Amino acid sequence: MSYASSGEFKRDASYIPDRITKDARTPEHGPTDGRMWPVEPGRYRLVAAKACPWATRTLIVRQLLGLEDVISLGLCGPTHDERSWTFDLDPGGVDPVLGIERLQQAYLARFPEYPKGITVPAVVEEASGEVVTNDFPWITHDFFFEWREFHRDDAPDLWPADLRDEMEPVMQRIYTEVNNGVYRCGFAGSQEAYDAAYDRLWTALDWLEERLSTRRYLMGDLLTEADVRLWTTLARFDAVYHGHFKCNRQKLTEMPHLWRYARELYAIPAFGDNTDFDQIKTHYYVVHRDINPTQVVPKGPDLSVWTS
């Protein structure tokens, strides 16, 4: 974690800038300072964790687009130590395709002196065992734009051409104010930083509550990438962020339009299948020892409300 002098939490948002694109072309949008890898079915493995909100985005989009047989999946367990995410869910604690115990091994296979944290999601080349990219916003972007010929026939249009100009500022506000906003609250290093983060978060959530009072999804009647990005924070809100991160003005269940919207998303298999509340709670309450030194995981909240 990094803090400004004011005690405000600062996220390190620099990632491996490589992209996987059709014919290894240089794309029109996004980072182009890294290596371009070609789209090739069976070549890559997505390594993710259902505990992590950033990784869950990639799990949802991969399933929505029908890429399960094109890009394989390795899942890490819900907790990690200072070194790396690990494959606790696999027999013997070893990923059955990559043959590694720690995701760190894929990073070091390519960058022996890799200086940053080992993050999920990460795309790994199966044959070499080397990490390709961990740049999560562009992983899902490229799943849609670069892997199109492998999408299932009824895959949703997650980036409708006529809505993209409107989507971009909506997604940017969701990222800065909501996705990252809960972390600014939870990891604030001073009362002043926490108070400012809290006010920013709830200003954004009130904006979303109002926006969803007149539309089914964030962009209207169509499910888009914007909904995927908001969902991962909403799914964790009552279980983790409300108490653990002190985002406690209201629960999600007390905001009628956001709650209706969240329950509708949860009923879509790609969202519900990739949301594991037990793993989510275990991750936050066990890994964040500076916030929860006892590592006690709460039994609540009652999760039956998602399906009742």
44, 52, 107, 194: the catalytic one is 52
183 flagged as catalytic? yes
Catalytic option among 15, 44, 107, 183: 183
Handedness of CA 12, 13, 17, 21 (dihedral sign): positive
Which residues are annotated as catalytic? 52, 183
